[in-house]
Amino acid sequence: MSSAATAMPHVHRDPKGAKIGMWLFLFTELLLFGGLFLLYAVYRYRYPADFHYAATHLDTFLGTVNTLILLTSSLTMALSIATFQQRKRKLSAWFLVITIVFGFIFLINKYIEWSTKIHHHIYPNSPELVQHTPGENIFYSLYYAMTGLHGLHVIIGIILLTVMCVLVARKPRRHVRVPRGEGAALALLDNSGSPILEESLGSGVTEVGFTLFDETDEETRESMLIKLENAGLYWHLIDIIWIFLFPLFYLIT
């Protein structure tokens, strides 16, 4: 008959492994955008004047503001992790909220930029744009493709951070499930071994599950920390991609 130890579910925790997995995923994002940056580089080399001209029509102020927003959101993300490490759970959740808000502001700015352009009939294959030079057409196609893909990743990041915010804000808890045989009883004991609560489980109970709420539970905290750090890594990557997008589209004047 299996002993109590093997009856417990085998829990395999490897924070370093989880971190490796996240970094590996980030590399796929790097290569994904890398293909677009490659196209940008080739076309920039081929149409330097057209790219230069088209870039002057992008709103550098708005682009700079967006850069500052994302940089600051990276700060608040890092602070969310740091405060969580210092066991300031509620503060950590608030920093996540601020980060998410920054993400939203970034997206709103993007929306303003895009809708302004589209309002002026500057979008891929618009009747207006096809009358411009080929280089300008390519510039705007790349602009929409790259900032669009980036914006999609910001949306995903916001969703991810929202989930993390909920998880961080909730009371830390651990779920335990233990299979048990007929006629088992459940007792909660204090430190001296005296029962605080005793409950005889009815017949036919094959598994006992309970949730333990514990602010000081190290294992739950560690598990939450690695999730938070990995979410942070994703967010910082979004920042880094924008760090490159910004000068390439807005500053080549």
Partner 1 sequence: MAESATLAAQPANYLNWKKGIASWIFSTDHKRIGMLYLMAIVSFFFVGVTLGFFMRIEQMTMGKTLMSAQTYNALFTLHGVIMIFLFIIPGIPAILGNFFLPILIGARDVAFPRLNLLSWWVYMAGAVLAVTALFTGGGPPDTGWTFYAPYSIRTGTNVTLAVFAAFVLGFSSILTGLNFITTIHRLRAPGMTWFRMPLFVWAHYATAWIQLLATPILGITLLLVIMERIFNLGLFDPSRGGDPVLYQHLFWIYSHPAVYIMILPAMGVITEILPTAAKKPAFGYKAIAFSSLTIAFVGYLVWAHHMFVSGISDTAAWIFSLLTFLVAIPSAIKVFNWTATLYKGSITFSPPLLYALTFIFLFSIGGLTGLVQGALLTDVHVHDTYFVVGHFHYVMFGGTAFGLLAGLLYWFPKMTGRMYSFKRSYVAWFFLFLGFNTLYFTMLVLGWEGMPRRYYDHVPEFHSGHVIATVGSWILILGLVLYAWNLFRSLKRGEPAPANPWGGVTLEWTIPSPPPHENFEEIPTITGGPYEFPTGEPA
Partner 2 sequence: MKTGGGMEKQETLSYGTYIMVWLALLVFTGLTVTAAGLHLGSVSIATAIAIAALKSTIVLFFFMHLKYDDPVFKVMLMVAILTLTVIMVLTFVDVLFLPGGPAQ
Contacts (CB under 8 A) with partner 1, residues 216-245: none
**86 versus 115: smaller Cβ distance to partner 2:** 86
**Contact residue for partner 1 among 9, 17, 183, 195 (CB under 8 A):** 17
142 binds, among partner 2, partner 1, none (CB under 5 to 8 A by kind): partner 1
Q: Report the first-to-last Cα separation within the chain, whole angstroms.
A: 76
- Alpha carbon 37 to chain centroid distance? 22
- For 121, left (φ over 0), alpha (ψ -120 to 50), or beta? left
Site string for partner 1, 138-177 (x = CB under 8 A): x--xx-xx---x----------------------------
To the nearest whole angstrom, how small is the minimum distance from the Cβ of residue 134 to partner 2? 7
Would you count residue 183 as binding partner 2 (CB under 8 A)?
no
Among 25, 36, 60, 149, binds partner 2 (CB under 8 A): 60
**In 3-state terms, what secondary structure has residue 9?**
coil
Does residue 64 interact with partner 2 by CB under 8 A?
yes
CA distance linking residue 4 with residue 19, whole number of Å: 32
Which one of partner 1, partner 2, none is in contact with 124 (Cβ closer than 5 to 8 A by kind)? partner 1
Choice between 16 and 119, CB closer to partner 1: 16
Closest by Cα among 136, 107, 108 to 123: 136
Q: Does 113 bind partner 1 (CB under 8 A)?
A: no
Our CA angle for 86, 87, 91, nearest 5°, is 90
Alpha-carbon distance of 17 to 33, in angstroms, equals 25
Query: Taking CB under 8 A as the rule, does residue 195 contact partner 1?
Result: no
58 binds partner 2 (CB under 8 A): no
Long-range contacts of 214-220 (CB under 8 A, 24+ apart): 214/172, 214/173, 214/174, 215/89, 215/171, 215/172, 217/172, 217/174, 219/13, 219/174, 220/172, 220/173, 220/174
Q: How far is the CB of 246 from partner 2 (least distance, A)?
A: 8
Residue 105 interacts with partner 2 (CB under 8 A)? no
Give the span between the Cα atoms of 29 and 197, in whole angstroms. 52
In the set 7, 21, 23, 121, which binds partner 2 (CB under 8 A)?
A: 23
User: Closest by alpha carbon to 147, among 131, 129, 123, 163?
Assistant: 123
Q: Please report, as ranges, the residues that interact with partner 2 according to CB under 8 A.
A: 8, 11-17, 19-20, 23-24, 27, 30-31, 34, 37-38, 41-42, 44-50, 60, 64, 67-68, 71-72, 74-75, 77-79, 82, 85-86, 134-135, 219, 222, 226, 229, 232-233, 236, 239-240, 243-244, 246-248, 250-253
